[in-house]
Amino acid sequence: MPVHLLVCRIVTIPQSRPYQQQCYDDIHDGWSQGARNVALVLPTGGGKTHILSRVIHDHHGLSCVIAHRQELVGQLSMSLARFEVMHRIIAPKNVIASIVREHQLEFGRMYYNANAPASVAGVDTLVARGDALARWAQQVTLWVVDESHHTLKTNKWGTATNMFPHAKGLGVTATPQRADGKGLSVHSDGVFHTMVEGPSMYDLIKMGNLTKYRIVAPPSDFNTDDLKVTTSGDFSGKEMRKAARKSHIVGDVVEHYLRFAAGKTGITFATDVEIANKIAEKYRQAGVPCQAVSANTPEHVRNEYVRRFKRGELKQLVNVDLFGEGFDLPDLEVVSMARPTQSLAVYMQQFGRALRPADGKTHALIIDHVGNVKRHRLPDIPRRWTLDARDKRSSKKPDPDVIPLTTCLSCYGVYERTNAACPLCGFKPEPEGRRRPDQVDGDLTMLDDDVINALRQAAISALESPDAVGARAANVGGTGAGYGAAARQREKIESQNKLRETIALWAGHQRSLDRGDQESYRRFFLTFKIDVLSAQSLSRVDSDKLAIDISEALSYGQSIKSRSA
């Protein structure tokens, strides 16, 4: 009799990187210390899905992972399958069938089991079936929310987590800061009791777990100045669609992809389905294999396009708010931004799509047609995350990493204004003049000699002896006026000496970061809105205030350096 062999693919459970292990431990420490619901903050590409899948794998009891869109239920299901976790899927039947097909294609078997203790659910389906699932929900002891910056007490994600009264919770997100300013803390608008942070994007790039990047911002007539912002904190979809149709964004996207990234694999973020289809057609006309996808694209078609993209058969996928969250496209080289956003979370997720390392990939390229980078700054600058609502945060002090950006007139590269020349092509723009510090961004090496001498003389005059100041005042107003003027000058000198010491410490910190004088002068000016020499002729009150601002910025900068070491 013939022997039939059942061939199955060998599945190797993914191993955690050291920082992922630390995140895993920190989550469990949070629970063990009494925090019922823990939020994990880790950049896009850092492995949030890996960590939450491992948490589910190791959990004893019923659990439920909640995705905010049906398109992402499959992504989470595939991740649990990689950990060999059998699970039920709470979603429409056609979604379940599509996911099971993906299991068979990827693993040669399925990990779907309607009676398994672990579950993956779309939030809308979960809430809609609340009554039917009530008995099961009472037994769940762990819920996990992917992209948990969506989770507020009063919205559908909060409703979903409230279905599990006997469960502890975990939320994972790259950006706990919401565009509408609401907080994720249980003491604010959300449900989380504590937050744990993994490495920053800067750290992950430095460690090689994310790739370096380059940004170009070609000229664009996509006007975002008059776009209205909705209550959610992002631009109105209707307004974006109007602006897109008034612009040449369709042609610009393809033209500059061909100029800067021809032949590379990329995704384009578009404002709406119509514009996405037009961009995709323009790509194809230019000889670039491309398809457009959105939430309206049937799931089996979308999955097939993604497989073709991964095989290299498609070089571009144009999407509408689909690949910003949750999708894993590790070989991606280019992101074209044709959809503006006021949301830091959306921006960071779109940017982060291209940062996953791949063989032969030296850097990611971001082509920004809509001003997102200047709106939100570079993605890997240190950021102070909090679960608090925006209006409950302490007043903002100067941040040494909040540096304005500029666009090179030669290569369209985007870089911080602390650089006198474009670091990408070397082009050095000529300043509008050299007679004022603001014309050269505080770079004292670029000022005319007579201007420098005048600033130095003002700084020297600020330290004039109290006796001399008092004598002049006494000649005009009498002995009492002289005493008062001398006393005020002593206070000013004391304040100025403290300020100069603080500036010296700040300069030493800049040298420890291998920043030269030119860059340090510019960074000081762009951070504190005054150049180094003019600062040394300030009044006592202004000197004291600036010294405090510098000290706080210095303390923050040193803590970031220590954390990244």
82 closest CA partner among 1, 184, 13, 163: 13
- Residues 184 and 234 placed together within one structural domain of the fold: no
Spatial distance between the Cα atoms of 161 and 8, rounded to a whole number of angstroms: 37
Asked if residue 560 has pLDDT above 70, the reply is no
In terms of domains, do 178 and 258 share one?
no
Local confidence band at 70 (pLDDT 50, 70, 90 cut-offs): confident
Strand order in the sheet with 140-146: 87-90, 118-122, 62-67, 140-146, 168-173, 37-41, 194-197
Percent residues over pLDDT 70 in the chain: 93
* Contact indicator for 108, 84 with CB cutoff of 8 Å: no
Are 170 and 225 members of one domain?
no
Tokens of 95: 């979604």
How far is C-alpha 116 from the chain's CA centre? 36
Average pLDDT, the chain: 90
Q: Is the pLDDT of residue 113 over 50?
A: yes
pLDDT in tens, 14-56: 899 999 999 999 999 999 999 999 999 999 989 999 999 999 9
Identify whether 108 is part of a domain: yes
Mean pLDDT of 381-404: 71
Residue whose token pair is 């002729």: 537
Cα separation, 171 vs 30, whole angstroms: 12
515: exposed, middle or buried (C-beta count within 10 Å: 0-12, 13-18, 19+)? Answer: middle
Domain count, the chain: 3
Other residues' Cβ atoms within 10 Å of the Cβ of residue 381: 17
Q: Checking DSSP bridges between strand 290-293 and strand 334-337, what pairing results, if any?
A: unpaired
The answer to whether the Cα torsion of 48, 49, 55, 58 is positive or negative is negative
* Residues 332, 353 contacting (CB under 8 angstroms): yes
Claim to verify: residue 175 and residue 311 sit in the same structural domain? no
Angle between helices 299-310 and 70-82 (to 10 degrees): 50
Same domain flag for 377 and 471? no
Considering only residues 278 and 4, tell me which one the structure prediction assigns the higher pLDDT: 278
Q: Does 559 have pLDDT greater than 70?
A: no
Check if the beta carbon of residue 347 is closer than 8 Å to that of residue 319: no
Q: Judge if 257 and 356 occupy the same domain.
A: yes
Q: How confident is the model at residue 2 (pLDDT cuts 50, 70, 90)?
A: very low
> What is the rounded distance in angstroms from the CA atom of residue 470 to the CA atom of residue 551?
32
Contact 78, 326 (CB under 8 A): no
Model pLDDT for residues 431-468, shown as the tens digit of each residue: 989 999 999 999 999 999 999 999 999 999 888 888 88
Burial 347-371 (b: 16+ CB within 10 A, else e): bbbbbbbbbbbeeebeebbbbbbbb
Confidence at residue 564, expressed as pLDDT on a 0 to 100 scale: 39
**Amino acid 469: pLDDT:** 82
Average pLDDT of the segment spanning 389-402: 58
What is the pLDDT confidence band of residue 402, given thresholds at 50, 70 and 90?
confident
pLDDT in tens, 412-423: 999 999 998 999
> For residue 121, what pLDDT is reported?
97
Specify if 403 maps to a domain. no
CB 23 within 8 A of CB 17: no
Residue 7 lies in a domain: no
Are 232 and 380 contained in the same domain? yes
The whole-angstrom separation of Cα 251 and Cα 335 is: 16
134/174 same-domain check? yes
User: What does the alpha-carbon distance between residue 447 and residue 452 come to, in Å, rounded to a whole number?
Assistant: 6
How far is C-alpha 10 from the geometric centre of its chain's CA atoms?
36
Are 180 and 245 in a shared domain?
no
Q: Please tell me whether residues 211 and 334 are part of one structural domain.
A: yes
Token pair, residue 514, equals: 């291998």
Residues 370 and 501 in one domain: no
pLDDT at 88 over 90: yes
- CB-count exposure of residue 10 (10 Å: 0-12, 13-18, 19+): exposed
State the pTM of this model: 0.85
Residue 3 has pLDDT above 60, yes or no: no
| Domain final residue, candidates 332, 359, 394 | 394
Structural domain includes residue 105: yes
Which pLDDT belongs to residue 394? 45
Note whether residue 25 is domain-resident.
yes
State how far the Cα of 160 lies from the Cα of 173, in Å rounded to an integer: 17
Express each pLDDT in 157-205 by its tens digit. Answer: 999 999 999 999 999 999 999 988 999 999 999 999 999 999 999 999 9
Q: Do residues 123 and 130 make contact, with C-beta atoms less than 8 angstroms apart?
A: no
Q: Does the structure show a pLDDT above 60 at 396?
A: no
Give a yes or no: residue 468 inside a domain: yes
Does the pLDDT of residue 79 top 90, yes or no? yes
Residue 317 lies in a domain: yes
**Quick one: tokens of 72?**
């992402």
Output the domain CATH number for residue 223: 3.40.50.300
Query: What is the model's pLDDT at position 199?
Result: 96
Q: What residues are paired with 112 via a beta bridge?
A: 87
324: containing domain? 204-394
Q: Residue 126 burial (CB < 10 Å; 0-12/13-18/19+)?
A: buried
Local structure of 314: helix, strand or coil = coil
State the virtual CA torsion across 402, 407, 413, 417 in degrees, nearest 10: -40
Residue 317, classed as helix, strand or coil, is: strand
More confident position, 236 or 477: 236
Same-domain check for residues 221 and 176: no
Please indicate, yes or no, if residue 179 is contained in any of the structural domains: yes
Sheet holding 290-293, edge to edge: 212-216, 363-368, 334-337, 266-269, 316-319, 290-293
Per-residue pLDDT at 233? 86
pLDDT of residue 484: 84
Q: How confident is the model at residue 400 (pLDDT cuts 50, 70, 90)?
A: low
Looking at 145, 169, 198, the residue that finishes a domain is: 198
For 322-359, what is each residue's pLDDT tens digit? Answer: 776 656 666 789 999 999 999 998 999 999 999 999 88
**500: number of Cβ within 10 Å:** 18
Last residue of a domain, one of 153, 179, 198: 198
pLDDT of residue 392: 45
